[in-house]
Amino acid sequence: MHHFQYQNDQMYCENVPIRRIAKAVGTPFYLYSHATLKRHFKAFDSAFAGVSRLVCYSAKANTNLAILNLFAKLGGGLDIVSAGELYRGLQAGFEPNKIVYSGVGKRVDEIDYALKNGILMFNIESLEELEVINQRAANFNTIAPVAIRVNPDVDPKTHPYISTGLKKNKFGIDIVSALQGYKAAQKLDHIEIKGIDCHIGSQITDVQPFKDTLSSLNTLINELRKIGIYIRYLDMGGGLGITYSDETPPAPDEYAQAIIKSLKDSSFKLILEPGRVIVGNAGILVAKVLYTKRGETKNFVITDTGMNDLMRPALYDAFHAIKPVSKTRDATIVADIVGPICETSDFLARDREIDNVHRGDLLAVMSAGAYSFAMSSNYCSRPRCAEVMVKDNRIHVIRNRQTVEDLCAGESVPDFLDEH
């Protein structure tokens, strides 16, 4: 049971009618269910019960401080990819020694910030990065804890833009070079080898690619033992998919069992970096219909949200279910549901059958908790929308809607424009 349900044709988030929230905060806005967020985190974590583990929520999926705060309170760690995410994580109360830092392009200032804060480990994505982290640690007279992110060349069978574990992808280090990397790391004075890491992609709906990855990692781990390198942390990355439409991804229990069974050795502490599976179906985007129009070949429903707030349909042709907040029970229509942005790719759905909606009606864009607000922009000078969290019958605005003044913050006009 999830927490966006109809009661008497009105969609509720937990025990609050969504219509009421729209009246209070205006549209568009993202809406998150506290109960769903908590249940998803706990279900994922307890799927690994009995195994030494740390669930490091992947911040990039949704970085709102309230959401991070909730996972910190539930005992989670954090997977970050930038100094900005580290800052947010620390603000939200994560213990630094529960934070892992991935990403192919860590800057020196970001490395320094992470070293100063004593994070759990850096997931190294190139041999040059290893050298730089060693130098920076030497500079601070400290030791940098690292894992090498291995690119296992496994096909996760997902959208090509979100596959990361194939040879042709920029991520991680291939198995052969990873062995060289560990040997190099062993000789560096300011590096402590802590773990091994991977992340093969996102929205993965089958356990096989995870099993294949572990089998590659097991081979490398054995090679490492032979040269006296003992891994303490095995970081499986994230990637477990969710249902947007008719996908049937494995439940966290099935995913956990597949991983646990493929672990040759139980002396590791397992790190998991789930993002989408925790937050994806815990959030929706609520928008208002501004206009409807009938083109020569199509119906258009024009809403006050678009690719600036939710980029996934434009970028990946991603499917998000769209439901009326108040059911009309009219006949349905087939329409393109589009936004106000001046781009043809600005659609939420194309050729979609929906209730025959009218100007002023509210729509709920479902499964919009992950990579949704986080990837929003100010394109066409549209203020970023509000974010709201509901717990039972309580509402809290966890991010104010931006104002037009906010849009100009930080900009300034040089005096030399007055010169002729």
DSSP per-residue codes, 185-224: HHH-TTEEEEEEE---BSSB--SHHHHHHHHHHHHHHHHH
* CB closer to ligand LLP, 193 vs 277: 277
Sole window of 126-134, 182-190, 231-239, 326-334 interacting with ligand LLP (rule: CB under 6 A) = 231-239
**What residues contact 364, with CB distance under 8 A and at least 6 apart?**
4, 11, 18, 284, 285, 286, 322, 323, 324, 325
Residues 19-58 that bind ligand LLP (CB under 6 A): 58
Please, are residues 68 and 88 in contact by the beta-carbon 8 Å criterion?
yes
CB 317 → ligand LLP: shortest distance, Å? 11
Can you tell me the distance from the alpha carbon of 395 to that of 245, in angstroms, rounded to the nearest whole number? Answer: 28
Q: What tokens appear for 47 in the block?
A: 């799927």
> Does residue 371 bind ligand LLP (CB under 6 A)?
yes
3-state secondary structure of 251: coil
**32 beta partners:** 283, 389
* CB closer to ligand LLP, 126 vs 203: 203
CB 181 → ligand LLP: shortest distance, Å? 17
Can you tell me the distance from the alpha carbon of 383 to that of 405, in angstroms, rounded to the nearest whole number? Answer: 9
CB 276 → ligand LLP: shortest distance, Å? 4
* CB closer to ligand LLP, 79 vs 361: 79
Sole window of 27-35, 223-231, 237-245, 324-332 interacting with ligand LLP (rule: CB under 6 A) = 237-245
- The 198-217 site mask, x for binding ligand LLP (CB under 6 A), equals -x--xx--------------
Residue 148 has a CB neighbour count (10 Å cut-off) of 31
* CB closer to ligand LLP, 82 vs 202: 202
* CB closer to ligand LLP, 317 vs 392: 317
Helix 252-262 and helix 208-226, axial crossing angle in degrees, nearest 10? 30
Q: Which of the 8 DSSP states describes residue 266?
A: S
> Does residue 61 bind ligand LLP (CB under 6 A)?
yes
Catalytic residue among 56, 198, 342, 385: 342
Task: Pick the binder of ligand LLP from 35, 74, 104, 162 (CB under 6 A).
Answer: 162
Sole window of 114-122, 205-213, 273-281, 291-299 interacting with ligand LLP (rule: CB under 6 A) = 273-281
Judge residue 152's burial from the number of C-beta atoms within 10 Å of its C-beta, 0-12 exposed, 13-18 middle, 19 or more buried.
Answer: buried
* CB closer to ligand LLP, 275 vs 306: 275
Q: What tokens appear for 363 in the block?
A: 């729509």
* CB closer to ligand LLP, 242 vs 289: 242
Question: Is 408 labeled as catalytic in the residue annotation?
Answer: no
CB 201 → ligand LLP: shortest distance, Å? 7
- By C-alpha distance, which of 138, 143, 125, 150 is closest to 193? 143
Sole window of 178-186, 274-282, 335-343, 353-361 interacting with ligand LLP (rule: CB under 6 A) = 274-282
> Does residue 252 bind ligand LLP (CB under 6 A)?
no
Task: Pick the binder of ligand LLP from 45, 79, 129, 387 (CB under 6 A).
Answer: 79
* CB closer to ligand LLP, 233 vs 371: 371
- The 86-125 site mask, x for binding ligand LLP (CB under 6 A), equals ----------------x-----------------------
Pairing of strands 283-294, 29-33: antiparallel
Please, are residues 370 and 58 in contact by the beta-carbon 8 Å criterion?
no
Judged by CB under 6 A, the number of residues near ligand LLP is 21
Can you tell me the distance from the alpha carbon of 90 to that of 68, in angstroms, rounded to the nearest whole number? Answer: 10
DSSP per-residue codes, 130-160: HHHHHHHHHHTT--EEEEEEEE------S-G
User: What kind and span of H or E run contains 252?
Assistant: helix 252-262
CB 393 → ligand LLP: shortest distance, Å? 30
Task: Pick the binder of ligand LLP from 28, 77, 238, 250 (CB under 6 A).
Answer: 238
CB 189 → ligand LLP: shortest distance, Å? 27
CB 194 → ligand LLP: shortest distance, Å? 16
Task: Pick the binder of ligand LLP from 28, 165, 237, 252 (CB under 6 A).
Answer: 237
DSSP per-residue codes, 71-88: HHHTT-EEEESSHHHHHH
Can you tell me the distance from the alpha carbon of 333 to that of 355, in angstroms, rounded to the nearest whole number? Answer: 6
Judge residue 310's burial from the number of C-beta atoms within 10 Å of its C-beta, 0-12 exposed, 13-18 middle, 19 or more buried.
Answer: buried
Query: Interface with ligand LLP by CB under 6 A: which residues?
Result: 58, 60-61, 79, 102, 162, 199, 202-203, 237-240, 273-277, 312, 316, 371
Residues recognised as catalytic: 342
